[in-house]
Amino acid sequence: MVNGGNVSYRQLQLASGPMNAYGSIDIVNGAVSGSVNAALGGSAGVVARAALTAGGKVNDPVLR
């Protein structure tokens, strides 16, 4: 969704091999914020999970 110069990405999903992730990202005045939850699975189920925070600027985004 675009509102003025702000952009919101909702219900983001990523699936690649054993990794799945979902989250949301906001961009307000060039600043990135949001969260991403990722899970790495194997044949026995989920092996690892991580809750990541998005930050930084549009030209230098960071996931921590």
Residue 12 in domain: yes
Instruction: Give this prediction's pTM.
Output: 0.81
Residue 28 in domain: yes
Q: Which residues form the domain of 13?
A: 2-59
Q: Which residues of the chain have pLDDT under 70?
A: 1-2
What is the predicted pLDDT for the residue at 55?
A: 98
Give the span between the Cα atoms of 47 and 32, in whole angstroms.
29
Residue 16 in domain: yes
What is the predicted pLDDT for the residue at 45?
A: 87
Long-range contacts of residues 3-7, Cβ cutoff 8 Å, at least 24 apart: 5/29
Residue 64 in domain: no
